């Protein structure tokens, strides 16, 4: 039997412990692609080593052999550092937060398009964690649009319950 009793505790633990694949492909595809990516990086290391050894054919003095060996080790080490590494799945809470964040950005972009406001310009309108770059004449209307969207969202509030509102000129 679980030591966690309340549904709120269970939910909090689930969001922290459960993980989701965010690699960008189907999790079933990872079964083939992870070993394939490891294989490709190993093949790259072996090819590089073979290429170095081909240049070393012929008579060598001891100094040349030591130099070739050190070049081989350096090259293999640099390729190994660039090789494939699996990335951990992210906690469910972070995945849900990212989804909500991108959903809000899409809503903001759609609302700005409906109002014929272009998302380019020297003024950066920032409300909380969300920002958009617009032209000077569109700043006030953009602030209204973003604040309306954020009021409907659960991520809209800062610590004191008020929307933090800023805009500034940049890049000039």
Span 100-141, pLDDT tens digits: 989 999 999 999 999 999 988 888 888 778 888 999 899 889
The span from the CA of 116 to the CA of 88, in Å, is 41
CA angle centred on 102, ends 119 and 162, rounded to 5°: 80
> Strands of 165-169's sheet, edge to edge?
130-134, 123-127, 165-169
Q: How many CB atoms lie within 10 A of CB 125?
A: 24
Structure tokens at 130: 């969300």
Per-residue pLDDT at 172 exceeds 50: no
pLDDT tens digits for range 85-100: 888 889 999 999 999 9
The span from the CA of 23 to the CA of 29, in Å, is 10
Task: Give residue for tokens 């966690």.
Answer: 4
The domain limits of the chain are 23-82, 92-169
Contacts 24+ apart (CB under 8 A), 48-52: 48/75, 48/76, 48/79, 49/75, 49/76
Task: Give residue for tokens 């090259």.
Answer: 75
Q: What is the pTM of this model?
A: 0.63
- Between 87 and 46, residue with greater pLDDT: 46
C-beta separation of 76 from 4 below 8 A: no
Residues 6+ apart with CB under 8 A from 136: 121, 122, 123
């Amino acid at each position: 039997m679980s030591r966690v009793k309340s549904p709120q505790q269970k939910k909090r633990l689930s969001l922290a412990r459960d993980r989701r694949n965010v690699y960008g492909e189907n999790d079933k595809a990872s079964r083939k692609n992870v070993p394939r990516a490891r294989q490709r990086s190993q093949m790259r290391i072996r090819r590089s080593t073979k290429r170095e050894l081909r240049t070393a054919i012929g008579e060598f003095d001891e100094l040349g052999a030591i130099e070739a060996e050190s070049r081989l080790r350096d090259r293999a080490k640099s390729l190994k550092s660039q090789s494939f590494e699996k990335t951990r799945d992210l906690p469910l809470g972070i995945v849900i937060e990212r989804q909500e964040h991108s959903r809000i950005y899409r809503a903001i972009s759609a609302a700005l398009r409906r109002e014929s406001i272009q998302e380019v310009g020297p003024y950066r309108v920032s409300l909380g964690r969300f920002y958009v770059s617009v032209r000077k004449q569109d700043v006030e209307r953009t602030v209204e649009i973003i604040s309306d969207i954020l009021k409907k969202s659960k991520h809209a509030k800062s610590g004191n319950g008020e929307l933090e509102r800023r805009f500034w000129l940049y890049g000039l």
